[in-house]
Amino acid sequence: MKIDEFETKVKTIRAKLLGVAVQQLPCKEEAEDLVQESLLRLWYAQEQWSQYQNLEAVAMRTLRNLIIDRYRKSTPQHEAIERCNRQSNEPNAQQLLEARENRERLINAIQQLPNLQRLIITMKDLEDYEIKEIAQITQSSVESIRMNLSRARKKIKELFYNHINDE
């Protein structure tokens, strides 16, 4: 096939390809380059044209693949995966600051409890003692331990959330 015949066949195809490329790419020059590349690939594959029913569809597919390749090259995949992993696994500075402030508020709230309640909540929630063991250690009844634990948790919630609402 001669160049003149090729030009007449792809003249209408080129306009459609350029329209699609301009929509997909940030600048017109880059769109024109990719359209030119897809037409060049079409020219080199002219022996296979008889296999295709729709030459325009082949040109569109070629252009689409070139656009996809361009986007893949602009953001390397391994860097994108690493960036996603860092974002999902590592807390950012804001989250670290909030966690530190919450921990300080919690410690402050626990310190404001009466001695027995502070001891019971520390043993139960921080050191994972059973209620029966706490009752033996403090020489109190199981019911009083439960009651003091409930009061301590309620007081911590009040102190913790009141402090947040005050800010």
Res 77: pLDDT? 54
Q: What is the pLDDT of residues 1-33, one digit of tens each?
A: 567 777 777 788 888 888 888 888 878 888 899
Measuring CA to CA, which residue among 111, 105, 113, 100 is closest to residue 150? 113
Among residues 152, 95, 155, the alpha carbon closest in space to that of 121 is found at 152
pLDDT above 60 for 81 = no
Determine the Cα–Cα distance for residues 88 and 83; give it in Å rounded to an integer: 9
Q: Looking at residue 4, what is its pLDDT?
A: 74
What is the identity of the amino acid at 78? H
In the chain, what are the domains?
3-83 (no CATH), 93-166 (1.10.10.10)
SS3 content of the chain, % helix, strand, coil (to 5): 85, 0, 15
Residue 133 neighbours by CB distance under 10 Å: 14
> Is 22 in a helix, a strand, or coil?
helix
Mean predicted lDDT score pLDDT of the chain = 83
Q: What confidence score (pLDDT) does residue 80 get? A: 53
**pLDDT tens-digit series, residues 83-112:** 555 555 667 788 888 889 888 888 888 899
pLDDT at residue 68, as a whole number:
87
Quickly count: other Cβ atoms within 10 Å of residue 63's Cβ.
Answer: 25
